[in-house]
Amino acid sequence: MKPVSRRKFVQQSALVVASASLPFPFAMSTNKEVFVHQVYFWLKDPNSAADRAALRAGLEKLRAIPVITFSHIGTAAPTRREVIDSSYDFSLLCFFKNGPDQDVYQTHPIHLEFVDSCKHLWQRVVVYDAIGEGQE
């Protein structure tokens, strides 16, 4: 076994850290451009446990789309202030590297299948797309 000097160890460790950080865009000290795609869903029948489960299952499947760098599937937090809209049933937040990657997502077969199989569940969808810099 070849011994590794302390300097070499530190250098190699830094490389390991750098490569471990690569998949996620924010594991860096400077700001990083992120395309934020936020979707809110209002169900036709929010009291139907089956409909809620079906939409959640559909949203979970979307996560397999490779251009998504981060996703969050949520429901309204219990916060209540005048400015807060907590009337929605599900939220989906997706991060993309840039606009072209978001375009790929929109026409990805998994996304098209999601819309096809779940659109009967919702009465309203609102989307906010934002471009800007993310920071840890």
Interface residues with its own copies (CB under 8 A) are: 1-7, 9, 12-13, 16-17, 20-21, 23-24, 26-27, 34-36, 38, 40, 63, 69-79, 81, 83-86, 88, 91, 93, 99, 102, 125-136
Are 31 and 135 in contact by the 8 Å Cβ rule? The answer is yes
CB atoms within 10 A of CB 107: 8
Residue 104 neighbours by CB under 8 Å, 6+ apart: 67
C-beta of 50 vs 133, nearer to its own copies: 133
Minimum distance between the CB of residue 108 and its own copies, rounded to whole angstroms?
A: 15
Q: Which amino acid is at 21?
A: S
Q: How far is CA 24 from the centre of its chain?
A: 12
Closest to its own copies by CB, 48 vs 87, is 87
Minimum CB distance to its own copies smaller for 45 or for 136: 136
Closest of 39, 130, 26, 37 to residue 88, by C-alpha:
39
Nearest-approach distance from CB 135 to its own copies, in angstroms: 5
Query: How many CA atoms are closer than 13 Å to the CA of 77, on its beta-carbon side?
Result: 4
**Which residue, 113 or 132, has its beta carbon nearer to its own copies?**
132
Supply the minimum distance, in Å, between the C-beta of residue 64 and its own copies. Answer: 11
CB of 56 to its own copies, least distance (A): 10
Please give the single-letter amino acid code of residue 40: Y
